[in-house]
Structures are given as structure tokens and as C-alpha cells.
Amino acid sequence: MPALVSALEHAMRKIRVLVANHPRLMRDLVLATVSDQPDIEVLGALEDESQIVQVVADTHPDFVIVALDKPHERPAICDYLLARHPQVKVLAVAPEHDNSLFFWSDIRSAAVESSEEGILNVIRGKESTLAQRVM
């Protein structure tokens, strides 16, 4: 019986997301996409990206959503977070381009459709949105 309870708790556990995106409009759009999803818990929305390291250490999110300022470069915060918190996945959303990138612990990455559906599918682990390996 304890194994069944543990399996149910795991299945019902919400996906913990920290939004650390700028500019404010992008942060607000990302929050609007994820905040009212029943299977997602928003741990916070950071206006100052310098707080990411401390807040990730304090809250242990499953996902961190950051800005993708340069469309063909992995954000510097990715390497730091993935090296120190390998369980965290990072989704970088481009505010001025129609693309996003998804990073996980072994420094793999994949392009993601920049849409509500694309972002939610990545957070939920639906592999079909992982179009290709890009970096």
C-alpha cells in the first residue's frame, strides 16, 4: 500500500516552475501561460535575473524559464544552473524572435515552438515538441 500512495503522490505532484524572464512583457506572457495550469506550480517571477541562483537553491524548481537574448547562444545562466542543479531543466524564451530553446542536464538542447502549446508541452515532458537538437 505505501508504494501505491507514493506512486499516486508522484503522479499528482505539480511541476514546479520559476519564471525569470525579461522584459516584463515576456515575463507576464509566460506567467499567463503557466500560472493557471492545474499541474503547474509557479514558485515565483523574478524581475532581477541576478536572483536566479539563490532562488533556485532555495526553491528547487523543476523548470526555470529565462530569456534567450541571443538566439544562437545558450544563456550563461544555463551552464551554471545545469552544473549545480542537474535535476533542473531550463527553457529559454526569445523575446524578440520566434523561437525558444530547451536545455537539460547533460547540456543537450532542442528547439521549441514559441507558443503556449509549445511551452506547456516542454514543461509537461511531451517529447513531440522537441523538434531538433540545436546546440
Question: 60 pLDDT exceeds 90?
Answer: yes
> Chain-centre distance of CA 25, in angstroms?
17
Mean of pLDDT values over 127-134: 47
The CATH number of domain 15-129, selected from 3.30.56.10, 3.40.50.2300, 1.20.120.140, 3.40.50.300: 3.40.50.2300
Residue 19: pLDDT band with limits 50, 70, 90: very high
The pLDDT tens digits for 96-110 are: 655 666 776 665 677
Domain boundaries defined on the chain? 15-129
76-to-80, 87, 133 alpha-carbon distances in Å: 7, 17, 18
Summarize pLDDT for 66-123 with one digit per residue, the tens: 988 777 778 888 889 999 999 999 988 876 655 666 776 665 677 787 788 888 988 9
